[in-house]
């Protein structure tokens, strides 16, 4: 069973039909919507600030989500995939976003809807990723726009696949 731990009397709130892997850790002021999944070794640590997660969000193996005390909370929209070993720190991620494996999103960055952050990318503090963009590199820069093929074939496909995968564990 996943570790759900209160901090200062605040318990995580998990929506309906969510899958939490046995060794996932969710701490403190975390509110998660419906149809989400938090996979093996992922940590969602709402101890120093609040973390808000929408519906149909998958937080894959080894992901860390955290904020900065009194400075940078985390807000994640709907239909978001956060791939293996990514770090999401004190930032805002809007709807229909794919965060690639091993990428790092820093404080006060905003990833607008229908965007992709490539594997291994570093989104520096305060960066605005405009809607429909693909960012890659260290530091990340826009490399192209999201077309219909990327939107349906990657962003939507991965978000929907993780609901199917989670069903295998229930």
CATH of residue 45's domain is 2.160.10.10
Range of the domain at 117: 3-169
Helix (H, G, I), strand (E, B) or coil at 169: helix
Q: Could you list the pLDDT tens digit for every one of the 170 residues in the chain?
A: 899 999 999 999 999 999 999 999 999 999 999 999 999 999 999 999 999 999 999 999 999 999 999 999 999 999 999 999 999 999 999 999 999 999 999 999 999 999 999 999 999 999 999 999 999 999 999 999 999 999 999 999 999 999 999 999 98
Strands 58-59 and 25-32: unpaired
Q: Return the pLDDT at 146.
A: 95
For the chain, how many structural domains are there in total?
1
pLDDT of residue 170: 80
Cα angle at 16 between 168 and 169, to 5 degrees?
15
Q: Is 157 exposed, middle or buried (0-12, 13-18, 19+ CB in 10 A)?
A: middle
Q: 41-72 burial by CB neighbour count: b if 16+ within 10 A, else e?
A: bbbbbbbbbebbbbbbbbbbbbbbbbbbeeeb
pLDDT at residue 92, as a whole number: 98
């Amino acid at each position: 069973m996943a570790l759900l731990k209160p901090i200062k009397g605040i318990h995580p709130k998990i929506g309906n039909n969510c899958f939490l892997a046995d060794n996932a850790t969710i701490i403190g002021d975390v509110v998660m919507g419906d149809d989400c999944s938090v996979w093996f070794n992922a940590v969602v640590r709402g101890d120093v600030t609040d973390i808000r997660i929408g519906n149909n969000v998958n937080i894959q193996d080894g992901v860390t989500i955290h904020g900065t005390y009194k400075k940078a909370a985390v807000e994640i929209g709907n239909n978001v995939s956060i791939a293996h070993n990514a770090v999401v720190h004190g930032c805002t991620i809007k709807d229909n976003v794919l965060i690639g494996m091993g990428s790092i999103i820093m404080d006060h960055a905003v990833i607008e809807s229908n965007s992709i952050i490539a594997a291994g990318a570093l989104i520096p503090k305060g960066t605005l990723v405009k809607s429909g963009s693909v960012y890659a590199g260290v530091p990340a820069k826009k490399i192209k726009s999201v077309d219909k093929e990327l939107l349906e074939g990657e962003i939507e496909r991965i978000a929907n696949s993780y609901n199917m995968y989670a069903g295998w564990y229930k």
